[in-house]
Amino acid sequence: MKKRPILLATLTITGIFLVFLLIAVFLGRSGSRSGLVSVGEKIGVIEIYGPIMASDTLIDDIIDFRDNNSVKAVILRIDSPGGAVGPSQEIYSEVIKLQKKKPVIVSMGSVTASGGYYIAAPAKRLFANPGTITGSIGVIMSFPNYEGLMKKVGVSSVVVKSGRFKDIGSPTRPFSDAERKLMQSLIDDVHSQFVEAVSLGREMPAEKVMKIADGRIFSGRQALAAGLVDELGGFRDAVDYTSRLVGLGDDPDLIYPEAEKPDLLERILNSTLGSIAFDARQRWKVGPQYLWTGM
């Protein structure tokens, strides 16, 4: 009889926790982001740091600024070696839409290479520091091979597949000639998309872009000579230019996107699991990359 109150209390606490967990699941991301509220004319600043593995948050920020009438221009502050092809292309498309409605200026930090440069290309004006690493117009896709190790430890792999290319890129065997040819054609096609994006954004003939689109990197000063950027300067130079462009004077107000807040489920997981909890949206994605691997 004495054990029943303890059991009842345990069941009650467990039930309450499960109710909150179910509420979190059904509500989803109800507390993730909120609209921007601002007074007076401003310059929006969107910071793009690190590898580009997802596009959702950046696209939300771009749309917020595009639809905010108080934001007269947007500066993209980019410090990124690039990343996955799909997200880079999605952000690029939204930058084009934003550029059609209000000026987009790019300020490059330490690195704005590969996919970072891809999303910068359609902007009205590109600023780079003299030592900024940029360019790296190219595509890369890598595959590990464990065949030698497997032989040493006496492990083999048995594959049943529906077609000869179904296990292309398998880490347990080398590429066949046909597979290498197929993968090269894929990479060449994605590379041509990059060249076309730079050609359109920079208003350069595709043939001229192709001559420097072999993955090479440039300093900011070299990029200026090659026509990949418009001006040497830092973030404040980009702010001053943008302010003059839209007539906001010498000390314009800058507005940044609101920080993304974790939803209820994420808060519960973070509080209960601590460092074990992780954000699945940031996991590395496989496939072709607009990425400079020198970082």
Alpha helices in 203-275 (DSSP H): 206-212, 220-226, 235-246, 264-273
Structure tokens belonging to residue 193 = 């998309």
Structure tokens belonging to residue 15 = 């039930």
Catalytic residue from among 151, 166, 181, 261? 166
CB 104 within 8 A of CB 122: yes
User: What is the C-alpha to C-alpha distance for residues 269 and 274, in angstroms, rounded to an integer?
Assistant: 7
C-alpha angle 172/176/177, rounded to 5°? 155
Q: What is the dihedral of CA 12, 18, 23, 29, to 10 degrees?
A: 140
Give the β-pairing of 254-255 and 71-80. unpaired
User: What is the C-alpha to C-alpha distance for residues 219 and 110, in angstroms, rounded to an integer?
Assistant: 10
User: What is the C-alpha to C-alpha distance for residues 293 and 154, in angstroms, rounded to an integer?
Assistant: 33
Write down how long the chain is: 295
User: What is the C-alpha to C-alpha distance for residues 85 and 115, in angstroms, rounded to an integer?
Assistant: 7
In the annotation, is 114 catalytic? yes
In the annotation, is 3 catalytic? no
Catalytic residue from among 114, 136, 199, 243? 114
CA-based torsion, 146, 152, 158, 164: positive or negative: positive
b (16+ CB within 10 A) / e for 181-206: eebeeeeeebbeebbebbbebbebee
C-alpha angle 140/129/57, rounded to 5°? 55
Catalytic residue positions?
114, 166
